[in-house]
Structure 1
């Protein structure tokens, strides 16, 4: 009797952890944690799970001790590893930027000549310096990179979501190296294994169903018989709306999943097309 397929999943510990765990919970995947909290059990069969720092997830995926995991695109680029990107969640968006005190800049660029760059992103920074033909020397940091200028470095390369921390430390952004977000990656060899690939692709379907649902809302509308086609024509639904007759032939009930970000304008359009009694509700998952 053959052993069941087990896929080794890495979940991020730290800044990304809450959003990823909420994403899984919204997909109906429950996590039960052990006493130490590093090896949760998933309610979804076929997975053995461990919590790791995002940087370590990238490395473990690269060497193949983990089959699939959530990590930031910035660390995949920094580690220069070949992984299969399965899905971009769009969560935890950050920019990798170069920043310094304004006095260090000359016409928006670092002053000519040698200078010191403090960063956790050594490879990304060196590639940027080479690309821009700058004479920077890299100093590796281990957190709190923003405090290095001006005494211990001329500028920094760091990640930022709002820029508030940089600004609070008197630093101004003068270059953007990369944009990153939380993404689901797989080891290439795991995707070449048909049994593992099937398990992994099922996880992708569940994750994608939640992310797609977050972009849409369900609208339910009543409309008189003579205005049904005009209403259907203005609904940006996924394929076709669901239409049901109302009691005594008084009209129709129309239901459609529509883009969330266009809702304020759409409601006015629906009203103009004859729609009434509009009900808007959240969607948990959308599976094609």
Structure 2
């Protein structure tokens, strides 16, 4: 079948028309993200309080930021939350995926039940776990009503343990995502490899650790990136679950920034905190982006 020159020209123009159709989306991205990020960075070098003002004061806001105990505590909380949340989600998610990969009966029910929490927003998760952890309403109250009056599970009001309540709630919601990703990776493993493992008599735990994990590593990396994004966006979970309390025991940088931006009327300091978080995200993603682009260019 042959095409006339007119048909060939029209065919060549279609990709260009498709790119033109995407221009409004690109403009929205540039205006909504890039321009606002540049504006935030600029404001962080000013003395802006309730309203932005363009008077350059250097790094004074950053010096004040890192001399604020609440900001330092929020960074410590974020580091602890991020490490334990990602590690626990990866561990539990992979265990659930490995269990489902054994062709268990009722797999669809288990898979749906474990993945269901991820469909909820962090706000809903925070409210649900606030009820569960409330000593007067939740788990402690239920166990006390059964006769165990000495049982105590009041972590949510304990400044030293409240951050672990946030971690538990986040793991409950996100481990199902890791399970789904890892299960997709496990289902891609060659069945002949499993036969060889059984023939050689390799223990199941050793096979997963030494053979299977390297195969599903791309899925785990994807999970780490998605969980890392959830760590940075942990504002809504913290607000719904503990509101940063008791005191500032569960405060995170995102809540610090929002409080100083809307409640304390210090736009300059809030912008400095947002810029620090932006630089942290870029520093964390840069090695992954570099390795990905380098592999694709080979």
Of Structure 1 and Structure 2, the greater strand share is in 1
TM-score normalized by structure 1?
0.26
With CA pairs under 8 Å and 6+ residues apart, which has the higher RCO, 1 or 2? 2
TM-score normalized by structure 2?
0.25
Of Structure 1 and Structure 2, the greater helix share is in 2
